[in-house]
């Protein structure tokens, strides 16, 4: 255990039988810290929030995440422990994203992964970003002299996406679409050079739905949630669908044994029938 970890800072101020419930870490979005304090420790919430602020001097608000991501908008429930606003501006590489955590989903742990994928975008590509949220995939991709079509169902996220396009002084070809990702094949009658699909948990069927929109020779970055033992099976399924697997990366754990994975896929031929 790191001597600077949250657990180390608070373990002497809670009873010994509750130490196992102390969270090991917390996320930071802009000047907001998000910590998951279980019910067993709710009596110590304000103390824990104070310790969080002591670890990061720029923190203005501390939120306790009291539910998993849920609903069509993929938003968690939070209780404000310190501070007073759920609106913040998050810096990621050279970009800034304004958002309200009570309205939209945002995962700060994917910053490097977003940078990695958007750095692969080539000039003059047509790019589709599904589940685009407030723009952390779409905006960096769009600076590369490409056309980016980004689809998001949450109208609040679309509001912040428009705000972030202005915030980053973007003047390129980016087309926000407030719609359900299931309707993409109907809304967009075109083929794309690249698909970026940060699929929500349990929504792997979007691979089959969106695959026909990708040009032969095009790239798809498909995100999924799996246990490591199922990766070989997924690789074979993608190969059977006519894709070459360029790379596979683990992008963090989300539950015991379950991780987020990204498959970088190149479409080589029509899928088997």
Pairing of strands 192-197, 126-130: parallel
Characterize 155-187 residue by residue with b for buried, 16 or more Cβ atoms within 10 angstroms of its Cβ, and e for exposed. ebbbbbbebbbebbebeeebebbeeebeebeee
**What CATH number matches the domain at 6-85, 3.40.50.720, 3.40.50.1220, 3.30.2290.10, 3.30.300.110?**
3.30.300.110
In this predicted structure, what is the pLDDT of residue 56?
Answer: 85
Confidence of residue 4 (pLDDT cuts 50, 70, 90): low
Q: Where are the domains positioned within the chain?
A: 6-85, 108-267
Among 130-139, 149-158, 165-174, 256-265, the range scoring the smallest mean pLDDT is 165-174
Full-prediction pTM beyond 0.85? Answer: yes
The predicted model gives 189-218 an average pLDDT of: 96
| Confidence band of 1 (pLDDT split at 50, 70, 90) | very low
CB 151 within 8 A of CB 181: yes
Total residues found in the chain within this entry = 273
* Separation of alpha carbons 131 and 49, rounded Å: 31
Cα dihedral 7, 86, 198, 38, rounded to 10, equals 30
Per the structure block, which two tokens stand in for 23? 């969270």
Q: Is the pLDDT of residue 2 over 80?
A: no
Instruction: Specify whether the CB–CB gap between 141 and 118 falls below 8 A.
Output: yes
Distance in angstroms (rounded) separating the CA atoms of residues 62 and 78 = 10
**Over the chain, what is the mean pLDDT?**
91
CA distance 68 to 259: 16
Mean pLDDT within 138-148: 89
Multiple choice CATH, 108-267, 3.40.50.150, 3.40.710.10, 3.40.50.720, 3.40.50.620 = 3.40.50.150
The number of helix segments (H) and strand segments (E) in the chain equals: 8, 13
Q: Where are the beta strands (DSSP E) in 10-58?
A: 27-29, 32-35
Separation of alpha carbons 263 and 152, rounded Å: 21
What are the pLDDT digits (tens) for 67-97? 777 666 677 889 999 998 999 999 999 999 9
Neighbours of 1 (CB within 10 A): 8
Taking 50 as the threshold, does the pLDDT of residue 65 lie above it? yes
Q: Residues 29-45: pLDDT tens digits?
A: 999 999 999 999 999 99
What is the pLDDT confidence band of residue 7, given thresholds at 50, 70 and 90?
Answer: confident
* Contacts of residue 13, Cβ cutoff 8 Å, sequence gap at least 6: 44, 47
For 208, the enclosing helix (H) or strand (E) is helix 206-210
First to last CA, the chain: 52
Q: Kindly give, in sequence order, each residue whose CB lies less than 8 Å from that of residue 119, ignoring residues fewer than 6 positions away.
A: 140
pLDDT-derived band at 3, boundaries 50, 70, 90: low
Whole-Å CA distances, 190 to 56, 146, 215: 47, 15, 9
Q: How confident is the model at residue 254 (pLDDT cuts 50, 70, 90)?
A: confident
Q: Distance between CA 224 and CA 254 in Å, rounded?
A: 11
């Amino acid at each position: 255990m790191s001597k600077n970890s949250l657990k180390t800072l608070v373990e002497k101020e809670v009873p010994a039988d509750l130490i196992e419930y102390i969270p090991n870490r917390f996320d930071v979005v802009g000047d907001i810290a998000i910590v998951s304090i279980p019910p067993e420790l709710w009596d110590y919430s304000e103390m824990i929030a104070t310790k969080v602020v002591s670890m990061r001097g720029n923190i203005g608000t501390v939120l306790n995440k009291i539910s998993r991501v849920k609903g069509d908008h993929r938003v968690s429930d939070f209780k404000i422990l310190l501070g007073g606003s759920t609106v913040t501006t998050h810096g990621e590489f050279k970009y800034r994203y304004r958002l309200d955590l009570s309205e939209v989903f945002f995962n700060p742990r994917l910053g490097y992964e977003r940078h990695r994928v958007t750095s692969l975008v080539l000039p003059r590509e047509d790019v589709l970003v599904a589940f685009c949220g407030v723009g952390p995939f779409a905006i960096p991709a769009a600076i590369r002299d490409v056309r980016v079509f980004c689809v998001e169902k949450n109208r609040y996220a679309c509001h912040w996406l428009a705000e972030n396009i202005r915030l980053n002084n973007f003047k390129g070809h980016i087309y926000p679409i407030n719609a359900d990702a299931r309707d993409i094949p109907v809304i967009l009658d075109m083929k794309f050079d690249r698909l970026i699909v940060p699929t929500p948990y349990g929504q792997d069927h979007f691979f089959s739905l969106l695959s026909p929109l990708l040009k032969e020779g095009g790239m798809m970055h498909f995100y999924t949630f799996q246990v490591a033992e199922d990766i070989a099976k997924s690789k074979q399924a993608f190969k059977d669908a006519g894709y070459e697997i360029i790379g596979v990366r683990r992008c963090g754990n989300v539950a015991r044994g379950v991780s987020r994975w990204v498959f970088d896929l190149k479409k080589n031929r029509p899928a088997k029938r």
